[in-house]
Structure 1
């Protein structure tokens, strides 16, 4: 099991949560945290087994993709990943709030035979990391 992408994704999550200019500003228009976020994204993308990272706005469109190769399944179907993962995290958030209105979804990890998808939803964006769970570290 690969744990480092999970830890790095949580670090990116933490960097966004302390940004006073708002996550959209810092991530997409050159705010003060861009270099820290970019270096964290590149570090995650270099871990063994990581196929790619998506950052989506909550309009279900993929706004940033880092893929390990031009043949990466994440790159080839980025809009499908963005749409499915964003709507899945929205449905999970709704289910969590139905169970306890004071609680909120912070992180999801989905593992299949072929792929592991880690989803970190926020108000204005969602970070998705896709990896091969059978890859050796």
Structure 2
């Protein structure tokens, strides 16, 4: 496994502030690709905004988005408000498996109360499964 920060291996944007620019690893033997990885993007206050999946069999990598996490948004308190994730949906198809929306308590803005998945219904079992959470406020 390899992490880059300031030096770019392929097409990632170098990060000079301690953020990880990319992560790569060797794929298992028998796959058509020899190296896979992610390029990471950040917002102006260094919060993760996305992770783009790539594969390389020779030369420069190819952005395939198979397992990308293309969108992460935050509220003013820094809590995640939306999160998207792609994954394998059939033997040769990749699509959105998570399109999560996070809801927070209006009285206690940092307390998560619910997560809803807006991904296509057929893909939802392949990703995150939201559970109802109950809190004992004042205990």
TM-score range, shorter chain: under 0.3
Relative to the length of structure 1, the TM-score reads 0.26
Tell me which of the two structures has the higher relative contact order, counting C-alpha pairs closer than 8 angstroms and 6 or more residues apart: 1
Going by fraction, where is strand more abundant, 1 or 2?
2
Going by fraction, where is helix more abundant, 1 or 2?
1
